[in-house]
A and B are shown apart, each in its own frame.
Chain A
Amino acid sequence: MSPACSENAPLKNIRVMDLSRVFAMPFAGANLADLGAEVIKIDTCQTQFMDTTRTITGPFPDNEPGERWWEQGGTFQNLNRGKRSLTLDLRNEASQQIIKDLVSVCDVVLENFTPRVMARFGLDYASLKAHKPDLIMVSNTGYGHSGPWSNFGAMASALEPTHGTGAFMGYMESGPEGCLVEGDVPNKMGNSYSDFLASWTALGALMGSLLRRARTGQGQWIDLAMYQTGTSVIGAGLLDFAFNDRRTQRIGNRHPFLSPHGVYSCQGHDQWVAIATRDDADWVAICQAIGQPELTSDDRFADPIARRQHQEALDAIITAWTSAQTSYQVMETLQQAGLPSGAVLTAKQALTDPQYIDRGFFETVHNPPEVELRDKGYVGRGWKFSKSEARIKGPAPQLGEANEYVLGELLGVDQARMQALTEDWTIGNLPEGGGAPGSVPLDEQVEIGSIVAYDADYLGLLPLE
């Protein structure tokens, strides 16, 4: 049990080996750490094989990778908070043996290598299970460990359309008579959506497996294919094909049967508010709220079917009203009238949003001075327990900070062997090879569209952390 962890942390007696990289499984591991598990991240000193969130993902403080750049990435910190770090070099047999020894004192393993890699290292579930018979292991891949595509790699950005979400998301297009019709071009939720679906699914399947282990002593291998996870959340759409032969639904921000429904432009650059009208009462309420009660007797808008047919005209009327106000003003007025509406928040707005602040969603982490990160807020989680504790335990681990603890204390490796491992860079606290990643100036990032804007004085605009 880690010292930062209280009696009420549900996973206080669970130890996790986290062999995973990038987003999906590291984030599942971060959630386990928040719940009190001791999560040991298997890091490496070899820069070219490091988790890319340590090396290139950034963002770096004030856009400048510092002297200890491999500890500074903001995304890395969010995804690896509260973990420990052991460096190894999985290409050598000594490291592979250490993994096997360590598995025998772990409860859970997380990994996301393509299937051939774990087998090549001799670290597939069958091999690891020999060292820990009741092991619970998540193998997260693009396409799973069976089937014709099983050895294909995957990244969320290209996987998302493959698992079908693009069939149900896209802007409308101009039709023959100038009115908008279902669009042809698929779109994406983006922001690595598929990865997060995998994080939540892994967490659920792991907990179910831990519950059964407590009951029966059995372990479990969880073969998590992100392709399949992404497909499971559009089941209603797939059944629409099975029963009705329908393949797509790209209707922008409209709704299949509610109207008006969409996002409307507000005061300021790229500011929007979402509005939905569920029924006749909502329709009357919105007409009153925007000061045009006479619309309720306009034949074009008599019922949701008519309103859907004339939604362009209706959207223009609503936009004329929203565009003179801020998104928060529109939201507050409409919510007071009992209508579903919400500002489309940027991350900057989310950081100061009253609901997020009231619920303490962003949790502050105190970083050690040598990492030069100041105190930072990181994303929490979408659930609160009335009794159990779930909170971020601390910053992401510095490279190899737990080498002594894991090898010496947990595995009893002697000093001579530790020295040998240090000499060939298997263990260490510094990267071997490669230097700090380059950074693109923020003005240039605005120009190429990788960011919308930036505030040089952002520190003063953030709530006190």
Chain B
Amino acid sequence: MPADLLNGFRVLDMGSGISAPWCAKILADYGAEVIKVETPGSGDLARRMGPFAGDDPNPEKSLTFLYLNTNKKSVTLDPSSVSGRKLLDRLLADADVLVDNYPPFVSKELGLDYASLSAVNPGLVVTSIAPFGQTGPYHDYQATDIVTYALSGLMYHSGDSDQPPLRNVLDQSFYVAGANGAAATQIALFARLGTGEGQHVDVSAAECLGAHLVQPLPYYNYMGAVKGRRPVRGAGFEELMPARDGYVAPSVQGSRPWEVIANLIGLEELLDEKFSTGAGRVAHGEELKELLTKGLAQWDRMPLFLASGEARLVFGMAQDAGDLFNCPHLEARDFFVEVDHPVVGQAKYPGMAVRLPGEPLTDSQPAPLLGQHNSEIFGQELGYSAQDLVSLRQLGVI
């Protein structure tokens, strides 16, 4: 890490929080040079988001920020000041991509809308991620993750049918938007190979999630049915069920005969013919759930999971952060990377979502301190003198 897919591309990460920084981190992990452009003083909003290392709310200790910004550089500038804008325009001239997640009205106010940016560099790909995109009646709606999830149409299906819809995991809407943004940005770069032109990529987080409706949507427009939350009565399978040391997810999927499942769980009553078909499992649901509960109570999660895999079944188990951190399989795949950060010290961080065999694996760089690369980028690269940088700092520009 990072890989070399995007070597030679330069990305300005004007984002804050999760969606745009996650997008830019994926590009950084693929080998792009990513420069975060942060607000002088406060920086990326994620610096103020928990959790914090040692529960100390120091802007250099936000774990959300530290995770989302590895392999990036940080400069600070205020784009609304004349000198700040000049600095930004110099950076824009040499950049291939700009990623932002400003509310649409803010980018216009700051003169950072696509029309203004492309006037400086027509080859620039500008990826703007917003909860509802740049257009439409909701484009200026206020939103956090839960609101985005709700309006996407996906939240209605999360959680239990006898409870309210349940919020997703750790601001997932914005991770899904960021991953979509990274793909779409690269598509625009690929198009640029043919046209030589940049363009604007308008990413709507709610629509990125809405694209997941490949089942609930046709349920309605093919047969008028409204799909809801689980569980389906009498199932037990594909649900979280208690085992001895936590929860497991037994599954009937994977095209294996019922007796393989019954034998794995190891309860003779389960071998009854009446459970061997999907219809039978629904018809005798309550009895089956009782037996399943009894059978699973004899198992710990990991032995059941491993036995399922060996039997070519696809059971799952509920793992927490500690389980994953100590997972032998992730370890064997070199998923975690060592990162040494000047303020919080050394730790193992989750690595890339994909493995790219044959890629050189090098150390990950820690997330940058606020403005850590001001002298490198503004000084060495753009040629501002040490004295210039001091005055810019005193003026609050950087």
Q: Contacts of B353 on A, CB cut-off 8 Å?
A: 197, 201, 224, 228-229, 232-233
Across the interface, name the chain B residue whose C-beta is closest to A348.
Answer: B220
B223 close to A147 (CB less than 8 A): no
State which size class the interface on B falls in.
35 or more
Asked if B297 is at the interface of the complex by the 8 Å CB criterion, the answer is no
**Residue among A75, A356, A359 with the highest chain B CB neighbour number at 10 A:** A359
The one of A62, A186, A359, A384 in contact with B240, judged by C-beta atoms closer than 8 angstroms, is: A186
A200 close to B180 (CB less than 8 A): yes
The one of A146, A335, A377, A451 in contact with B225, judged by C-beta atoms closer than 8 angstroms, is: A451
B63 close to A168 (CB less than 8 A): no
B63 close to A240 (CB less than 8 A): yes
Q: Contacts of A278 on B, CB cut-off 8 Å?
A: 144
A356 close to B210 (CB less than 8 A): yes
Binary interface encoding of chain B residues 61-85 relative to chain A, with 1 for a CB under 8 A from any of its CBs, else 0: 0011011100000000000000000
- Which residues 24-43 of B sit at the A interface, judged by CB distance below 8 A? 26, 30-31
Q: Contacts of B227 on A, CB cut-off 8 Å?
A: 347, 450-452
Binary interface encoding of chain B residues 123-162 relative to chain A, with 1 for a CB under 8 A from any of its CBs, else 0: 0000000001101111001111011111111111111110
Least CB distance, B159 to chain A, in whole angstroms:
6
Asked if B289 is at the interface of the complex by the 8 Å CB criterion, the answer is no
Known: A79-B214, A355-B136, A385-B188. 12 other contacts (CB 8 A): A27-B214, A153-B254, A158-B238, A196-B176, A204-B186, A207-B187, A223-B354, A241-B322, A243-B344, A359-B207, A383-B204, A449-B161
- A208-B6, A243-B347, A452-B228 known; A342 vs B143 contact (CB < 8 Å): yes
B64 close to A236 (CB less than 8 A): yes
Question: Which of B104-112, B355-363, B382-390 is found at the contact surface with chain A?
Answer: B355-363
Question: Which of B86-94, B324-332, B370-378 is found at the contact surface with chain A?
Answer: B324-332
Q: Contacts of A148 on B, CB cut-off 8 Å?
A: 328-329, 332
Distance in angstroms between the alpha carbons of A243 and B63 in the assembled complex? 9
Asked if B51 is at the interface of the complex by the 8 Å CB criterion, the answer is yes
Q: Contacts of A159 on B, CB cut-off 8 Å?
A: 314, 316
Least CB distance, A186 to chain B, in whole angstroms:
4
The one of B153, B224, B324, B354 in contact with A205, judged by C-beta atoms closer than 8 angstroms, is: B354
Asked if A370 is at the interface of the complex by the 8 Å CB criterion, the answer is no
Binary interface encoding of chain B residues 1-44 relative to chain A, with 1 for a CB under 8 A from any of its CBs, else 0: 00111111100000000000000001000110000000000000
Asked if B317 is at the interface of the complex by the 8 Å CB criterion, the answer is yes
- A158-B253, A188-B240, A278-B144 known; A387 vs B217 contact (CB < 8 Å): no
Across the interface, name the chain A residue whose C-beta is closest to B251.
Answer: A158
- A59-B222, A187-B240, A448-B282 known; A385 vs B201 contact (CB < 8 Å): yes
The one of A154, A387, A458 in contact with B221, judged by C-beta atoms closer than 8 angstroms, is: A458
Residue pairs across A and B with Cβ atoms less than 8 A apart, 10 shown, are A164-B323, A189-B168, A208-B30, A209-B5, A244-B51, A275-B147, A377-B217, A442-B223, A454-B223, A462-B221
- Which residues 204-236 of B sit at the A interface, judged by CB distance below 8 A? 204-234
Q: Contacts of A215 on B, CB cut-off 8 Å?
A: 7-8
Across the interface, name the chain B residue whose C-beta is closest to A78.
Answer: B214
B186 close to A60 (CB less than 8 A): no
Least CB distance, A74 to chain B, in whole angstroms:
2
Distance in angstroms between the alpha carbons of A227 and B49 in the assembled complex? 26
Asked if A410 is at the interface of the complex by the 8 Å CB criterion, the answer is no
Binary interface encoding of chain A residues 147-178 relative to chain B, with 1 for a CB under 8 A from any of its CBs, else 0: 11101111101111111111111110000000
Asked if B195 is at the interface of the complex by the 8 Å CB criterion, the answer is yes
- A222-B354, A253-B146, A345-B156 known; A74 vs B180 contact (CB < 8 Å): no
Asked if A234 is at the interface of the complex by the 8 Å CB criterion, the answer is yes
Q: Contacts of A270 on B, CB cut-off 8 Å?
A: 228
